[in-house]
Structure 1
Amino acid sequence: MATLHIEGIDALFYEQIQRAAESESRSVSQQIVHVLKEYFAKEKQLKKASSPAEVLLELAGSWQDERDADEIINEIKSSRRNSQRCSEGF
């Protein structure tokens, strides 16, 4: 088993680690290993997760259309109707 020696940890940070270790009935070394394992497991899951843009594209779906963009735009514009709903104001 490998050994890891960490230098330069300030006293307050070490005390936090000790308190966390004690609250979970672990040694400081076990606590550090536990926290690092959790971190790397979460990091691995995050790398597998889709980005918000990918999720949106999956939800939005896509379609096939033989028409070019100008034909689609013209169809949308021609289907618009003027509304008299606000002609008298609010």
Structure 2
Amino acid sequence: MANLQVRDIDDRLYEALKRRAEMEHRSVSQEVVLLIENYLAHDNKESERKTLSFLELSGSWVDDRSPEKIVEEIRSSRTKNTRGRDADELFD
């Protein structure tokens, strides 16, 4: 089994870990391992949830227009910015 050494840990963080471990009748080392395991398990579930949510969006936009037509409509709806063209005008 691998060993992990953490250096220069903040005293307040160590004390919080120590209190939490004592409350759960575990060593600080056991508590840290459990916290890391829980974090990694949660992180994987969250990543999977986000991936599934993204995949649900796949194909959800249906439009009869071609991509070129959509881009053309977006570009034609834009207005030209004239800010800063008049040298005497400080604010719009």
SS of 1:50's partner is helix
Displacement of 1:32 after TM fit? 0.3
In the alignment, structure 2 segments of 5+ residues that lack a partner are 66-92
Whole-angstrom distance in 2 between the partners of 1:44 and 1:24: 25
Residue aligning to 1:40: 40
Return the offset for 1:54: 3.5
Amino acid of the residue matched to residue 29 of structure 1?
A: S
1:34-62 per-position Cα deviation (integer Å, ceiling 9, x unaligned)? 000000000000110036x648748xx67
- Aligned mates of 2:56, 2:33 — CA distance in 1: 37
| SS, match of residue 45 in structure 2 | helix
Normalised to the residue count of structure 2, the TM-score between the two structures is: 0.57
Aligned residues: 66
Quote the offset at 1:33 in angstroms: 0.1
Paired position in structure 1 for 2:10 = 10
Q: Name the SS of the counterpart of 1:8 in structure 2.
A: coil
Q: Which runs of 5+ in 1 are unaligned?
A: 70-90
